Amino acid sequence: MCKIMKLNHPAQLLLTIILSAWLVTGCSTGLFTFATATDTQEPPLVTASPEIIAEGHLTPKDSVSLGFQAGGKVVEIMVDEGDQVTRGTVLARLGDREQMEASLSAAELELLDAQQDLDDLNEKALWPAARPTRRW
């Protein structure tokens, strides 16, 4: 319940009016404050500069992602920007060709060795089944 306080004494009434006025005026130091016009300064003169500084993000109109079967350092680019190319055109050459060819030869030799091992295994596994067996 809300109790309404009765103000019987004139000092209480006066104090309540002063506090209310002070709260309504925003607790300012003076009872009333008015905005006054002040002298405004003109903005500084800016002179044109031949340089333009801007930030942005450039995105190409057309782009292509290239993927290569082998990694390496590009030592020669065979085409220029804007050249028309067709399927199968060599675009670039990678360095360390001798090392890649040696790695390819080693991998081919490993494959041949593994194939021979597989052939030997299959031959040994099938040979007993190919012999006729006698059962008495």
Q: Tens of pLDDT along the chain (136 residues)?
A: 455 556 567 777 778 888 787 777 665 555 555 666 666 778 787 777 778 788 888 888 888 787 777 777 888 899 998 898 898 898 888 887 788 788 889 999 999 999 999 988 888 876 555 555 666 6
pTM of the model: 0.30
pLDDT attached to residue 36? 65
Q: Tell me whether residue 11 is in a domain.
A: no
Q: Tell me whether residue 25 is in a domain.
A: no
Q: Go through 83-95 and write b for each residue having 16 or more CB atoms within 10 A of its CB, e for each that does not.
A: eeeeeeeeeeeee
Q: Tell me whether residue 120 is in a domain.
A: yes
pLDDT attached to residue 113? 95
Domain that holds residue 101: 96-131
pLDDT attached to residue 29? 57
CB 56 within 8 A of CB 69: no
Q: Tell me whether residue 33 is in a domain.
A: no
Q: Tell me whether residue 19 is in a domain.
A: no
Q: Tell me whether residue 70 is in a domain.
A: no
pLDDT attached to residue 73? 82
Say how far apart CA 118 and CA 113 lie, in whole Å: 9
Q: How many domains does the chain have?
A: 1
pLDDT attached to residue 54? 82
Q: Tell me whether residue 104 is in a domain.
A: yes
Q: Tell me whether residue 108 is in a domain.
A: yes
Question: Residue 118: CB partners within 8 Å, gap ≥ 6?
Answer: none
pLDDT attached to residue 108? 95
